[in-house]
A and B are shown apart, each in its own frame.
Chain A
Amino acid sequence: MPTRALWTLRLSVAALALASARDAWVPGSAVNGWLFMKAGLSERVAASADQVGAAIMVGVMVSALLRPSRVAMWAGATWFLGLALARWDHPGEAADHLAPISHAVRISALIALALLANERTQSAPRNMVAAGWALVVGTALTFCGHGIEALAHSGPFVDLMIGTARRWTDLRLAQATAEDLLTLIGLQDLLLAGLLLTRRWRWVAGWMALWGLATALSRVTSMGMDSWHQSVLRLANGGAPLTLFLAWPHLARPDPVPLKP
């Protein structure tokens, strides 16, 4: 596993964990919302769950930067799965019904790092293959989810485009124009997802890396540095396909390495 690729994955996971810890600590997470509003538990219990989640995320961040631990990564993946399911079951945004798809790359990045936590696990071919599949599927699903949102002309996506254009160019982008662009972007995202899953072309992963990073950063380019956590949370959208690109063909070979008898 190339060092650059592994570090890309580790930094992506660390970024995810940092932003998620912040979300659990400051406004409260989707798990908090589900426990308090849907399950009817007390605010104290819901807040305690957030404290546990924040602690897990801090552990994941430290582990990802210093020495990846399988236990920490699996715990982190479980937390992100919980967040996605909480959003799906107790939607607070129009697109939350897509949360398990749109957030897939966050879960898969943690699973991949769990599988590649150390040299011993990296040396097992099936771990490399499994990690590759996790990143491929996670990236494709996330691009699918975002593509569907883009085709639906999601209000927040429109605002990201209008906000970025205004902040950086003084151009007042009309909503209709932004929506037309989103249609193209949505089709692109779906196409890329399909190609990554079916064709496994390296350049597709490369383009997805660039696009994922650009869209992650669009939170800051549109709304300013106060929204840093939203960008950091989404760095894996580019980091996961970048890992694939840098680790090609170790992670994404079309034919898996045969297992030893």
Chain B
Amino acid sequence: MITVALMLLGACALDDPWTRLEGTQPAQWRLVWTTSPAHEVTVSWTTLEAGTSHKVHVRPRPGSQGLESTSVPSGQGERRAREVMAHRSGAYTLSPTEVEKEAGAFYHHARVTGLQASSAYWLQIESDGRLSPELHFLTAPAEDRPFKMVHGGDSRTGISERQEMNRFIGRLADEHPELISFAHGGDYIANGRLWGHWRLWLSQNEWTTSPSGRVLPMIPTRGNHEPGPIFDEVFDDPGGAGLNYFSTDLTPQVSLITLNTEISAAGDQAVWLERELQRLRPQRRWLLSQYHRALYPAVKDPASAKLHWVPLFEEHNVDLVLESDGHSVKRTVPIRAEKVDPSGVIYIGEGGLGVPQRTPKSDRWFLQEPGMSGKSHHVVLLEFGPAGLDSRILAPPAVSSPIFRPEEQPLALAPDAPWRFLAGADPAGASWREVGFDDSSWAQGTGGFGYGDDDDVTVLDTMRGEYSRLYLRALVDPAALASLEEVQLAIRYDDAFIAFLGGVEVARAGVATGHGATAEGLSSHEATRWELFSLGSGAQLAERLGPGPAVLALEGHNHTSASSDFTLHPCLVGPSRVRAVAMDGPVVLDEFRLTPRDER
């Protein structure tokens, strides 16, 4: 009995999506790069209680080949590891409204120096004898060699979406051994003065650690939603407390200048920027900048820093500028003196790490071809090489491109198809998923079911507060499927669904286990975009379904019956114009290559 109880307790802990904040257990780890990423890194973490002894254990991975290998043998890390004590610890600042409600927590920073360039390091964090998982990271190269960096901004209020993006970044770290860093463009949370907001973000940030335990050092930018002291407490005063501008030499040929749009842009920061650009441009093949508020925005008005920084960028021929804040996707044309100029500066962005996306103002002159704009969660993956700088804007798998409209795709079941639906009750058994089921007592409606967010065709007026499940059935012609090279379920959903084709489950999202009334592990999800789930080859599906009509059946789940909205809007489409790197790989929203300046 005791063994079973302990197993259940263990199961509960394992079910936590991140490290629980308790006692002095190290949690919410992050690595920060500012100026010398080849030889230094700041290891930061959180404990619930203050504790007394905080340190990190770090050592080169045995037989480290630097960028060529990232795997770390387990259980070997404890021997001969260097101990580095935290140089700074303190309590995260609570806002006056949180003092009575939040438990608070403590930050710790350990600056590890004297690292070897291009090396993999094993890392473990210890606070009062409690240990973090074994982690590892790469240092930046000290020589001119190809590498990759990922950039993104604006996670903010998309709680489940940013978790998905964090997982995506973690997977990229394992899939791309040359990927060495994650530059964050700011706006991590909604209100930077609230520890509660940071607490959740920091916990979810653990998901950027790859499945193999690799942590990408962050190069953090301050956004406009991070006023106050907590940003500096989280990242150990990058660039100086309250200043937060610095340059990072990623290799001897590549530098990233991080700026702060939340302080004076024209004063000391501009003086420093001019000096840095003068110093770096002659020495660097690639010179980039990142900051939060866009100077060539896809949605908002330009930041006031435009007047002071754009002339400097153009004078010193910055290659690429990474922007955020707009909650959209964009790449500008090359710009110089407010005109298209092949030798000009390209601005790319604009914040898609989870925040709800906005429709860009795509008629702005700087977003015309060869530029682009769109609306999708995304990261920018940059690959730096001697012959070119390759940029790809990637969305996670099963995320639609910003240009995806189902009515423009080859259709097997239209978005406005008629459906039979059952609301407010659960069908008995599983026969409702089959073609022979008598659904004459079910209601009829046009595709696009839901309530609450003004995007529904068949509005379920009585759902809120009364029931949380909806069942749909629609007839599908297997011959229409056979004509498609690939069949995809395109769907907008809030919060979760399970789809069946010909009685067989073909897709689910947001439901961990079970079906219908026994469904468990429901997640929240916003229906901000069409999402694609590949069902496989149309010919193979048609063969399985046989002649005659088949049934596409869905059950939709709301997280709770009291939820403010619900959406279930499915259709079946063929291959879309959006290209995926692999069938289940990231979606490439945009890609281009820059050649070195002297070749342009």
Contacts and interface: CB of A to CB of B under 8 A. Distances in A.
B444 interface: no
Interface string B223-256: 0110100000000000000000000000000000
B354 to A, nearest CB: 12
A27 interface: yes
B590 to A, nearest CB: 21
Contacts of A175: 264, 266-268, 271
A94 interface: yes
B453 interface: yes
Contacts, number: 77
Contact of B304 (A28, A92, A223): A223
B356 interface: yes
Most buried by B among A92, A178, A222: A92
A40 B304 contact: no
Contact of A178 (B267, B307, B453): B267
A93 interface: yes
**Chain A binding surface, main DSSP class:** helix
Interface in A161-178: 162-163, 166, 174-175, 178
Interface in A151-205: 155-156, 158-159, 162-163, 166, 174-175, 178
A124 interface: no
A171 to B, nearest CB: 13
Interface string A12-50: 000000000000001110000000111011111100000
Interface in B114-141: none
Given A27-B301, A163-B307, A40 B564 contact: yes
Contact of B453 (A26, A45, A158, A162): A45
Given A44-B455, A92-B225, A163 B308 contact: yes
A234 B92 CA distance: 37
A155 B191 CA distance: 19
**Chain B binding surface, main DSSP class:** loop
A166 B264 CA distance: 15
Contact of B267 (A40, A91, A174): A174
B234 to A, nearest CB: 17
A224 interface: yes
Nearest to B305: A159
Nearest to B564: A40
Interface in B146-205: 156-157, 190-191
B281 interface: no
Interface string B328-362: 00000000000000000000000000011011000
A175 B269 CA distance: 9
Contacts of A166: 266
A91 B191 contact: yes
B395 interface: no
B267 A162 contact: yes
A118 to B, nearest CB: 37
A76 B180 CA distance: 53
Nearest to A37: B157
A159 B265 contact: yes
Nearest to B260: A155
Contacts of A91: 191, 225, 227
Nearest to B326: A27
B304 A156 contact: yes
A178 B356 CA distance: 38
Contacts of B304: 156, 159, 223
A93 B224 contact: yes
Interface string A50-92: 0000000000000000000000000000000000000000111
Nearest to A158: B264
Contacts of B268: 175
B300 interface: yes
Contacts of A42: 453-455
Given A41-B453, A43-B358, A93-B224, A159 B300 contact: no
Contacts of B383: none
Contacts of B300: 27-28
B224 A92 contact: yes
B244 to A, nearest CB: 12
B423 interface: no
A175 B308 CA distance: 14
B522 to A, nearest CB: 18
A98 B356 CA distance: 26
Given A155-B262, A158-B264, A178-B267, A37 B356 contact: yes
28 contacts: A28-B300, A36-B356, A36-B358, A37-B190, A37-B355, A38-B190, A40-B564, A41-B454, A42-B453, A44-B454, A45-B454, A90-B190, A92-B224, A92-B225, A94-B224, A94-B227, A155-B262, A155-B267, A159-B264, A159-B305, A163-B266, A163-B308, A166-B266, A174-B267, A175-B267, A175-B268, A175-B271, A178-B264
Interface of A: 26-28, 36-38, 40-45, 90-94, 155-156, 158-159, 162-163, 166, 174-175, 178, 222-224
Given A26-B301, A42-B454, A175-B271, 7 more contacts: A27-B300, A27-B301, A45-B454, A90-B190, A155-B265, A159-B265, A162-B264
